[in-house]
Chains A and B, each alone.
Chain A
Amino acid sequence: KETFDGHQVLRIAPRDEAQLALVKDMEDMMEFELDFWKGVTEVATHVDVRVPFHSLQSTKTYLESQDIKYSIMIEDLQVMLDEEQEEMDSAARDAEPRN
């Protein structure tokens, strides 16, 4: 099962059309292996992107060097997935007929 330890989801808030274009350019940076959860639409709407651990630093450097505002929406994706799985497992256990 693929794990996502250290993957973060960044919520990017482009300030203007120029920054929107710079974020759009990130879609072609295949080496970063970015996964756009909410793609680039318009300036007023934030962009959510999952960033693998190995490209976190370079992605943040790219954004900060262009003065593009972002926040960390999900600190560690695997932690969230573990919680989701645990919830599913415990609900499934509860659903099992009693002996």
Chain B
Amino acid sequence: TDSFDFSRYHTLNEIYSFQDMLVAENPKMVSKIVIGRSYEGRPLNVLKFSTGGTNRPAIWIDTGIHSREWVTQASGTWFAKKIVTDYGSDPALTAILDTMDIFLEIVTNPDGYYYTHNTNRMWRKTRKPNSGSSCVGVDPNRNWDAGFGGAGASSNPCSETYHGPSAHSESEVKSIVDFVKSHGNLKAFLSIHSYSQMLLYPYGYTRTVAKDQAELHAVAEKAITDLASLYGTRYRYGSIITTIYQASGGTIDWTYNQGIKYSYTFELRDTGRYGFILPANQIIPTAKETWLALMVIMDHTYKNLY
């Protein structure tokens, strides 16, 4: 993977091959878990970074749940290599991995990602047909059992924010739900989207203030400050509902309600005028600045295990 070109976008198969190569190169630290299958039967691969122990407290990172947001899967690939490169040389990451595990799902919506490469670059949702409608797919960030079906999601299968027929109806979502419940020791959950440069914490489906709001806000402030230190990319931060809009059935609302305190959603850059058609030459700068923020949250989690 040293010769893997992180500065360009890759197909689904290229990312799958990268994952297998990284595991083969680092058999003592990296393993691949298939937590389920997508609707079209593709494996939902999660890379596990562990230096030992069993069921250690862990951090979850996912990218690509909205398939068209290519800079997130590309950043996730870069994060995977960064973890194996920095372990043993970066004291902060080494300390984290000597105590905790990291789980990284790079292509959280593989059917959608494949579809963006081969049929429709604008595709965002899953690819499961909706009975009674000619429109396909569910917004996997509206399908979680947290305020499911409430305001801030659509009941129209043709909408980009369609919540689906029921909570966890999408296998891409249900597989993570089952993994989180079976693991039972996740302490941070970081779900990465693009674009609009925001770092968000619960809640999105209700105006109720999260009980850990003060701490989540302080950690977010530190995270976006470190992020901005590299290239000056400015982020806004706060709870979903106060910072952007009401969104029901969202990932981190569910994970927070499961007791995973450090639950955050990132909305990565577009500092220019590209939206999520971010030019490939911005992949590495985006990944590098985001990593600084991730390290703040992971370091805080490690130092404040609960």
Chain A residues engaging chain B, CB cutoff 8 angstroms: 1-2, 4, 9, 11, 30, 35-41, 48, 50, 73-74, 77, 80-81, 84, 87-88, 91-92, 95
Q: CB < 8 Å: which of A4, A41, A50, A88 contacts B9?
A: A88
Q: CB < 8 Å: which of B9, B243, B245, B277 contacts A39?
A: B245
From residue A78, how far is it (CB to closest CB) to chain B in Å?
10
> Do B119 and A1 touch (CB < 8 A)?
yes
Could you show 8 A-B contacts with beta carbons less than 8 Å apart? A1-B120, A35-B122, A35-B160, A37-B195, A37-B276, A38-B195, A41-B245, A84-B280
> Do A81 and B5 touch (CB < 8 A)?
no
Q: Report the Cα distance A48→B277, complex, angstroms.
A: 13
From residue B236, how far is it (CB to closest CB) to chain A in Å?
8
From residue B281, how far is it (CB to closest CB) to chain A in Å?
9
Q: Report the Cα distance A84→B121, complex, angstroms.
A: 10
Q: Report the Cα distance A36→B5, complex, angstroms.
A: 31
| B244 contacts chain A at the CB level, 8 A cutoff | yes
Residue of A nearest to B242 (CB): A42
Q: Report the Cα distance A73→B121, complex, angstroms.
A: 18
When distances are taken between beta carbons in the complex, the residues of chain A under 8 Å from B121 are 2, 4, 81, 84
Q: CB < 8 Å: which of A9, A36, A48 contacts B160?
A: A36
> Do B275 and A37 touch (CB < 8 A)?
yes
| B196 contacts chain A at the CB level, 8 A cutoff | yes
Residue of A nearest to B277 (CB): A80
Chain B 156-192, CB-CB to A under 8 Å as 1, else 0, gives 1010100000000000000000000000000000000
When distances are taken between beta carbons in the complex, the residues of chain A under 8 Å from B222 are none
Q: Report the Cα distance A92→B4, complex, angstroms.
A: 11
When distances are taken between beta carbons in the complex, the residues of chain A under 8 Å from B156 are 30
When distances are taken between beta carbons in the complex, the residues of chain A under 8 Å from B160 are 35-36
Q: Report the Cα distance A67→B160, complex, angstroms.
A: 27
> Do A48 and B275 touch (CB < 8 A)?
yes
Q: Report the Cα distance A80→B70, complex, angstroms.
A: 14
> Do A39 and B244 touch (CB < 8 A)?
yes
From residue A53, how far is it (CB to closest CB) to chain B in Å?
14
From residue A96, how far is it (CB to closest CB) to chain B in Å?
12
When distances are taken between beta carbons in the complex, the residues of chain A under 8 Å from B280 are 84, 87-88, 91
Q: CB < 8 Å: which of B8, B118, B158, B276 contacts A88?
A: B8
When distances are taken between beta carbons in the complex, the residues of chain B under 8 Å from A39 are 244-245
Chain B 243-277, CB-CB to A under 8 Å as 1, else 0, gives 11100000000000000000000000000011111
Q: CB < 8 Å: which of B119, B158, B196 contacts A38?
A: B196
> Do B274 and A80 touch (CB < 8 A)?
yes
Known: A4-B122, A88-B9. A74 touches B243 (CB 8 A): no
Residue of A nearest to B280 (CB): A87
Q: Report the Cα distance A36→B195, complex, angstroms.
A: 12
> Do A74 and B273 touch (CB < 8 A)?
yes
From residue A87, how far is it (CB to closest CB) to chain B in Å?
6
> Do A74 and B275 touch (CB < 8 A)?
yes
From residue B81, how far is it (CB to closest CB) to chain A in Å?
16
> Do B120 and A2 touch (CB < 8 A)?
yes
> Do B196 and A73 touch (CB < 8 A)?
no
When distances are taken between beta carbons in the complex, the residues of chain B under 8 Å from A74 are 273-275, 277
When distances are taken between beta carbons in the complex, the residues of chain A under 8 Å from B158 are 30
From residue B86, how far is it (CB to closest CB) to chain A in Å?
25
B216-260: which have CB < 8 Å to A? 243-245
When distances are taken between beta carbons in the complex, the residues of chain A under 8 Å from B275 are 9, 37-38, 48, 73-74
When distances are taken between beta carbons in the complex, the residues of chain A under 8 Å from B120 are 1-2
B1-58: which have CB < 8 Å to A? 5, 8-9
Q: Report the Cα distance A38→B275, complex, angstroms.
A: 8
> Do B196 and A50 touch (CB < 8 A)?
no
Q: Report the Cα distance A75→B294, complex, angstroms.
A: 35
